Amino acid sequence: MPLTPEQRAEIEDARAETRQTLRATSDGMESHLYRAHEVLDHGLVRVIDYMGDDSAIVQAARVSYGRGTKAVQNDEGLIRYLMRHWHSTPFEMCEIKLHVKLPVFVARQWIRHRTANVNEYSARYSILDREFYIPAPEHLAAQSVQNNQGRGETLEGEEAARVLDWLREDAGRAYDHYEAMLSQDGQQGLARELARMNLPANIYTQWYWKTDLQNLFHFLRLRADPHAQYEIRVYAEAICRIVADWVPAAYRAFEDYRLGGASLSAKALDCVRRMGRGEEVTQETSGMSKGEWREFMAVMEG
């Protein structure tokens, strides 16, 4: 449970004050505002602010394409057209600001998406809380045998217990020493910017993260993917549910064209065409390597 009673009260206060605005609003998003979506053992995602809705995408597209867009009969059709043809700029007209609490090793992956604005809690200025991510037993996975960056079976028995003990004990001891080094009780106290170096990568940090819908979709396509690491995927999935309420038409198009779609190479397209004509195609006659063929078969089988 990531929230203190104090934090719950703050959220209730924020939600209690309704204001008047002439801006576009999204009812689905208003119901999310400020509320904490719990993720992992101590993490959360909260919407702090947003700009635009489905109609803001359409409006921007109509500025660009003027009379040319009149032919498209309705907003959802136009949004699907834009998504299908990679017209990305109208989706950039929506913006979201999230408050995220997440383990440092997840934050390090997340920050590789550069087209966003970030304000992270600073461990140079301030003292981090004693909160660490400890995987639930069912997510304590072995290294994959096939895939260098994948997970295999769940660890069991003594091995699992040993891992959980180490993670808990090392984090606890590191934090004890962090506090002891910082203490100014009978000693000078180490600088915060130095003491933090003792903390492990499963400690929680938090940030405000702001990005536009186009870049958010790119983030979600990569991080809500089954190959993404579980610990970041759960954040992406929580955000997917929020976006589905914010811009329902855009999210449906995203699901169809991106999340559920696939990119086929020229070789793969050639195979698909031959298969469509009833021809039998094998890896040998496909022109693909074994690895590519295996991935292609996975796409073909759904």
Q: How far apart are CA 125 and CA 191, in angstroms?
A: 10
Q: Is position 263 annotated in a ligand binding site?
A: no
**Rounded to the nearest whole angstrom, what is the least distance from the CB of residue 43 to its own copies in the complex?**
13
Bridge partner residues of 120 (DSSP): 207
Which CB sits closer to its own copies, 163 or 244? 163
Q: Interface with its own copies includes 86 (CB under 8 A)?
A: yes
Which among 35, 1, 38, 42 has a CA at the least distance from the CA of 16?
Answer: 35
Radius of gyration of the chain from its Cα atoms, rounded to whole angstroms: 24
Q: Is position 122 annotated in a ligand binding site?
A: yes
**The binder of its own copies chosen from 80, 224, 236, 240 (CB under 8 A):** 80
Cβ of 115: how many Cβ atoms within 10 Å? 12
Residue numbers 12-71 binding its own copies by CB under 8 A: 14-15, 17-25, 30, 33-34, 48-52, 56, 59-61, 63-69, 71
Q: What binding mask, one character per residue, do residues 225-264 give for its own copies by CB under 8 A, x or -?
A: ----x-------------------------xxx-xxxxxx
DSSP state of 259: I
Q: How far apart are CA 253 and CA 243, in angstroms?
A: 12
Residue numbers 159-188 binding its own copies by CB under 8 A: 159, 162-163, 166-167, 170-171, 173-174, 177, 180-182, 184, 187-188
Active site residues: 223
Strands of 43-51's sheet, edge to edge? 37-39, 43-51, 95-103, 204-212, 117-120
Q: Interface with its own copies includes 93 (CB under 8 A)?
A: yes
Q: Is position 112 annotated in a ligand binding site?
A: yes
Q: Interface with its own copies includes 90 (CB under 8 A)?
A: yes
